[in-house]
Structure 1
């Protein structure tokens, strides 16, 4: 509820909840209030050393736990956490060529063509497009 009231996107809420649940399960379902910096460090190291996660994935896990401790438990984590950082190179996003986009668009029916064209031409995120209402559009 805290995140929804502050208008966090549904995907952010879902992502944070998944990382928090993973953290709790990693520590044998202990309540996060009974844990702290040491457990967070161990969990983040586990993600790198055992699960081989990418740097952004580890950062997302840290952000989720930081949110949990700061806003829910009201006991902020230390700014000097000491854990192994993921060293993987961040992968560049896959970007389609204009020709590939045209080919894709020719295979869509009218309903999906409209939404895909809107997302592609305006740069909207998927959730922004899904939540778009008629009154949000300026036809002038």
Structure 2
């Protein structure tokens, strides 16, 4: 049985527009903290238990500084936003002594070698990752209308932390992007012939505001799956819209 307390925290974080990865990480540390303290409810605990748990992570688990910081952030969120009793700013716990890993950055020669071995269907997404500095999920969630050829830019909506931003578009990728959009359009034309096709997913109640936009080219995923599958909703079967999956 799922914890109602953790489910409540998850729903609260979703309402605050936290990223899915952040929600999963915070829930992991909160659940670990509760198990460490013999399943006591966090409202009955405080600074002392948090200090003991952080010391356990460093002394027994030998976690890195960044990992311990993430656990502390999760517990700080728990007590500030959920319990409504913020932790003390003067917590006393052992600091991690594991050295930070130096970041590894590919040279131009290594990047060129990487693209030479990149298969054709993955070349464009990888080119956007490298040329525009986008995160992986940002690339996979791109819609056709996010590509602005006139200004040579890409608009990213609901990125990390629910923030929007604009990144540059490498002009070398424009011919491939136009070809990819033509491919997406061909998928859409096939889907539109199916009377059960439900259209692309639209967030934040935009489906109700613009009921016909989900079947327009601009709202289709740029890197959509090559297939769609049935999904059962209230006893009625609809054709699921193509998700942002690159064909394997």
TM-score, normalised to structure 2's length? 0.54
Aligned with residue 60 of structure 2, among 17, 36, 50: 50
- The CA deviation string for residues 54-91 of structure 1, in whole angstroms up to 9 with x for no partner, is 11111110000000111111111111111111122211
Report the counterpart of residue 94 of structure 1 in structure 2.
104
Q: Distance in 2 between matches of 1:71 and 1:31?
A: 15
Q: Normalized per residue, which structure has more helix?
A: 1
Cross-structure match for 1:132: 142
Aligned partners of 1:127 and 1:14: how far apart in 2? 15
2:25 to 11, 15, 25: 15
Cα drift, residue 99 of structure 1: 1.8
Stretch moving more, 122-131 or 8-17:
122-131
Q: For residue 127 of structure 1, report the CA deviation from its aligned partner.
A: 2.1
Q: Report how far residue 136 of structure 1 moved.
A: 1.7
Partner in structure 1 of residue 77 of structure 2:
67
Q: Give me the whole-angstrom Cα distance separating, in 2, the residues matched to 1:102 and 1:22.
A: 43
Match of 1:3 among 13, 27, 36: 13
Matched, 1:108 2:118: yes
Secondary structure of the residue that 2:104 maps to in structure 1? coil
RMSD, matched Cα: 1.3
Structure with more strand by fraction: 2
Aligned residues: 140
Stretches of structure 1 lacking an aligned partner (at least 5 in a row): none
Do residues 84 (structure 1) and 61 (structure 2) align? Answer: no
Query: Which protein, 1 or 2, shows the higher relative CO under an 8 Å CA cutoff with sep ≥ 6?
Result: 1
Larger Rg over CA atoms: 2
**Which of 56-65 and 26-35 deviates more?**
26-35
